[in-house]
């Protein structure tokens, strides 16, 4: 199998292709990809939820790139697309996925919201780790949570701001966390098929 096919196989595994269900809120976990904010704003405008949460401070891929926090950068994009400020909630301190979940849970409790259902939004290759983290670390009861992302093939993902090397290395790191974080109590266990592990080994041999 060619390297590109291994990358696509790993890329596909990291996504879950959940069907959307109308929910109390759309919960966007910050990143370096502004297309995530655009996608989430469009979900709100299509009526999938009444509230839109953006979580994220400055992460390793956005420090020195964004002028504002990830959450504030994403929220401004959503406002520009027509999402009312009153329906946007901003958590601007989190620096990793676990903190996205933990800090947002504390914030909505402080704001006295009682959200019971969630549409989680992240980059395509972070879908699986996002739901695994949320399911493990969200401290309140909930009835439903799904995860979604802007849908595209790996070969269509790159642009002037996000290059191939950065993306592949970030995806490899996320896959490694999927395997190691359950034992640390950070995420739920995810089954890893042998073909996916083989794809990871092939890609890692080139990019590590």
CATH code (residue 50): 3.40.50.620
pLDDT value of residue 190: 97
Mean pLDDT on 124-140: 97
Per the CB < 8 A criterion, the answer to whether 119 and 49 are in contact is yes
Q: Please report which confidence band the pLDDT of residue 6 belongs to, taking 50, 70 and 90 as the band edges.
A: very high
Only one residue has tokens 């946007």, namely 88
pLDDT value of residue 66: 73
Residue range 70-98, pLDDT digits in tens: 999 999 999 999 999 999 999 999 999 99
Domain residues for the domain of 73 are 3-207
pLDDT value of residue 194: 97
pLDDT value of residue 195: 97
The pLDDT mean for the chain works out to 94
What long-range pairs does 81-84 form, CB within 8 A, spacing at least 24? 81/38, 81/41, 81/42, 81/45, 82/41, 82/45, 83/41, 83/44, 83/45, 83/52
Helices (H), 14-96: 34-45, 70-80
Residue range 35-65, pLDDT digits in tens: 999 999 999 999 999 999 999 998 665 566 6
pLDDT value of residue 1: 66
Which residues are within 8 A (CB) of 157 and not within 5 positions of it... i.e. 6 or more apart? 124, 167
Mean pLDDT on 185-197: 97
Structural domains of the chain, count = 1
**CA 197 from centroid of its chain's CA atoms:** 22
């Amino acid at each position: 199998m060619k390297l590109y096919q291994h990358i696509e196989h790993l890329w596909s595994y990291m996504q879950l292709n959940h069907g959307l269900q109308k929910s109390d809120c759309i919960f966007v976990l910050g990143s370096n990809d502004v297309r995530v904010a655009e996608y989430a704003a469009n979900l709100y405008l299509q009526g999938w939820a009444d509230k839109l949460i953006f979580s994220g401070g400055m992460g390793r891929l956005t420090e020195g790139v964004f002028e504002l926090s990830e959450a504030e950068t994403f929220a401004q994009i959503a406002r520009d697309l027509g999402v009312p400020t009153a329906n946007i909630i901003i958590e601007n301190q989190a620096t990793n996925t676990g903190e996205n979940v933990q800090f947002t849970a504390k914030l909505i409790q402080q704001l006295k919201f009682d959200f019971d259902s969630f549409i989680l939004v992240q980059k395509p290759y972070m879908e699986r780790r996002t739901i695994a983290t949320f399911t493990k670390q969200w401290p309140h009861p909930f009835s439903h949570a799904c995860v979604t992302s802007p849908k595209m093939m790996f070969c269509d993902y790159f642009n002037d701001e996000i290059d191939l090397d950065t993306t592949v290395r970030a995806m490899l790191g996320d896959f490694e966390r999927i395997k190691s974080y359950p034992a640390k109590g950070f995420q739920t266990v995810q089954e890893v098929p042998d073909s996916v592990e083989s794809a990871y080994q092939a890609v890692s041999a080139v990019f590590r």
